[in-house]
Amino acid sequence: MVAPTQEIYEKVRSLRGIKPVIASMGSVAASGGYYIALAGDTLIANPGTIIGSIGVIMNYPIATELFDKVGIKFETVKSGGLKDVGSYSREVTDEDRKHLNEMVKDIHSQFVSVVGENRTINRLDLIKLADGRVFTGLQSKKLGLIDLLGTYEDAVALAGVLSQIKGSPKTVQINKKNNSFLDLFTSNLEQATSSWFDELPAYRWRME
């Protein structure tokens, strides 16, 4: 989601000037992942890391034909024509599309502005890159989307140097909970249900 991504970005960015922040991108840092990484002082990725997807997406199902088949009807009482925008119980109108497109464009503009504030990329060149596509780490280095190519260990070492730590920096890793089969099932079910009926825009990248 957009707002949580922005919250994390602002919290990380607030550390600038207090502590060096190195963003190690791992396998994927696209959409919201890249947005958050921009808060770092130095962005480092592997040559094959998937980076970018500077864009915004919003989608929701239209289930009117299904409801007609099973005999379900909805009665909606609303205070304005756009109050039920994104409802899966009615067809999309031109007014709906206009409103949602304007909102997505505004959020996309916010994303592009954050990239522009943190990367030295010409605005016109940046707009060309901000069409939702993804890049490899190697491509991203050439385009100016990241600073360095390297591994997680390289990022830790760099953080140690910038922090003037003597010797090898010690890292802290949070132990993840061992999920049971039931936990995994219910978690996936909740995620699927949320994404199916969620009408909010999101920074999202996924492999089709």
Indicate left, alpha or beta for 54 from its phi (over 0: left) and psi (-120 to 50: alpha).
beta
Q: Any long-range contacts for 36-41 (C-beta under 8 Å, 24+ apart)?
A: 36/5, 36/8, 36/9, 36/12, 38/9, 38/114, 38/115, 38/118, 38/119, 39/8, 39/9, 39/10, 39/12, 39/13, 39/118, 40/12, 41/16, 41/162
Q: What is the rounded (10 degree) CA torsion for 77, 82, 87, 93?
A: 120
- By annotation, the residues acting in catalysis are 31, 83
Kindly calculate the radius of gyration of the chain based on its CA atoms and give it in whole angstroms.
Answer: 21
